[in-house]
Amino acid sequence: MGLVYVINASDYDPISFGDNYLYHQYDKISSFLLKNYGRDYQEILAKPVLNNGMVNWHANHDMQLSRIGDLNQDTQLQIKKSYWELKNRLDKDIDDLEYSSLPEKKKWGAMLRQVFDDSNNMILSDGDFWCLLWGWKFKNKTENYLAPEFLNPDPIIIETPEPEETSELEEIVEEHEPVSIQEVENEEIQTPIDIVSDTSISKVKRNNFWYKLKRFFRNFVYRYWGLLFFILLVLFIFCLVQKCNRVDCPEIQELNEQLDALNQEINERCK
């Protein structure tokens, strides 16, 4: 792998994932892409290597690459179309992983969602070959933006290996091994009618109201959890102050009245 780009690590904040940084998962992510999509997808991600405060990015290329914003408009359009076609293709599988009932698949979905976040992807290219910088908060959404009318609705051009007969998610045996997107839950071969029916049901399910509502709230909490926490903290402090400033207490008043009655009765008997 050749050195294609260098950045100063102090210029960007690394993205955390679990108890570690996201870029530390390169080998694991690379194996996942190779196993499920083939070598072309694996080579999309540049490999980060930290050295004396600098991040050296390596890819299957022998020459230095430029940021896509430094290229001419026609070249930018061509590379962005390829990037967004690949990203949209992967987003469908990432959705399946995120909404899986298996914790390990959910973890993979969350990891890949951050890896292929267009806000934190930096596209490098020489006009022909291109790859991605990832794992840091590049805040690069504007540079990567592609108007919808330029996006090719046809399937992505990158060739992938022939899929197996079924398209269900594979059960995960060990956590350290990359998960495969192919899973065979039964050995029966589906007929064309069954496949069309399953596809239709899946599309209806994803487009229903509750699916969209659930995804909206999930994204809202993920983006604005800090604001929600601050609001809860303010409400807690407000309630605490209100309780501390409360002067009239029904229990105290009742006890005082009972004490006054007893004192009055004692005084009457002692006369």
pLDDT by residue (tens digit) across 199-240? 444 544 455 667 677 777 777 777 777 888 888 888 888 888
> Do 243 and 202 belong together in one domain?
no
**Which range is most confident: 15-19, 150-154, 175-179, 260-264?**
15-19
pLDDT in tens, 190-210: 444 344 445 444 544 455 667
* Pick from 79, 63, 89, 83: nearest CA to 2: 63
Residue 26's nearest CA partner among 7, 8, 1, 52 is 1
228 and 191 within one domain: no
Q: Which residues span the domain enclosing 166?
A: 2-207
Kindly state whether residue 83 falls inside one of the protein's structural domains: yes
List, in sequence order, the alpha helices (H) in 23-177.
26-37, 39-42, 73-98, 103-115, 141-144
Q: Are residues 194 and 231 located together in one domain of the fold?
A: no
Q: 202 and 228 share a domain?
A: no
Residues 199 and 67 in one domain: yes
- 213 domain-assigned: no
Residue 212 maps to a domain: no
Q: Are residues 86 and 154 in the same domain?
A: yes
Q: Structurally, how many domains does the chain consist of? A: 2
pTM beyond cutoff 0.75? no
Collapsed DSSP state (helix, strand, coil) of residue 183? strand
